[in-house]
Amino acid sequence: MTDFDYSVKVLIVGDGGVGKTSLTRRFATGQFTKDYIQTIGVNLLSKVIEVKGEKMMLLLWDTGGQEKFRNLLPKYYEGGHCGLVVYDVTKPLTLKKCVWWVGEITKHCGKVPLILIGNKTDLERQVSTEEGRSVANSLGIPFIETSAKDQTNVEKAFSLLGEMFLENIKVRK
């Protein structure tokens, strides 16, 4: 029998190299890999979390950000319940692309809970916190800055996502 009440499909999207895999792996396994590993299509990881007394199994779909995977991504988005849209604070262009990524998720999954994530805060940033927050506000979604390397706000991001998922279910009911 299941040891959790909900099964949640979480999409992790963003340009290649922003740290989606490191972020996901840090959350699910507690490990951080220094080397940049090219994602082939999708990585799958899972973790059970408890939010407001509800246990949920998060199935994390860490999708490939490279152009070559763009045709496959819509298939992987199907049925997504919520997601993290990730950019790299050392690369301003990746923040600008987040608008497109949010559009993609909305197009394929509808209006599902999303969080804008500014990753790699342990490095010398080129994007300020205010700039990130401004984009998030324009998209109408929450904003969190993280570092997969030193674990800053990683748990917080996924916990918030879990709360938003539960809230979304209540609203839909």
- Contacting residues toward another protein, per CB under 8 A: 1-9, 41-42, 44-46, 56-57, 59, 61, 71-72, 75-76, 78-81, 165, 169, 172-173
Quote the least distance from Cβ 13 to another protein, whole Å. 15
Closer residue to another protein in complex, CB, 56/98: 56
The tokens of 43 are what? Answer: 């990585």
Quote the least distance from Cβ 155 to another protein, whole Å. 19
Quote the least distance from Cβ 27 to another protein, whole Å. 15
The tokens of 33 are what? Answer: 């890999």
Cα separation, 94 vs 116, in Å, equals: 12
Strands 143-145 and 82-88: unpaired
| Dihedral, 24, 27, 137, 165 alpha carbons, nearest 10 | 100
Quote the least distance from Cβ 77 to another protein, whole Å. 9
Closer residue to another protein in complex, CB, 77/87: 77
Closer residue to another protein in complex, CB, 76/101: 76
Quote the least distance from Cβ 21 to another protein, whole Å. 15
Closer residue to another protein in complex, CB, 66/126: 66
DSSP per position, 98-156: HHHHHHHHHHHH-S--EEEEEE-TTS--SS-HHHHHHHHHHHT--EEE-BTTTTBTHHH
Closer residue to another protein in complex, CB, 46/128: 46
Cα separation, 107 vs 55, in Å, equals: 28
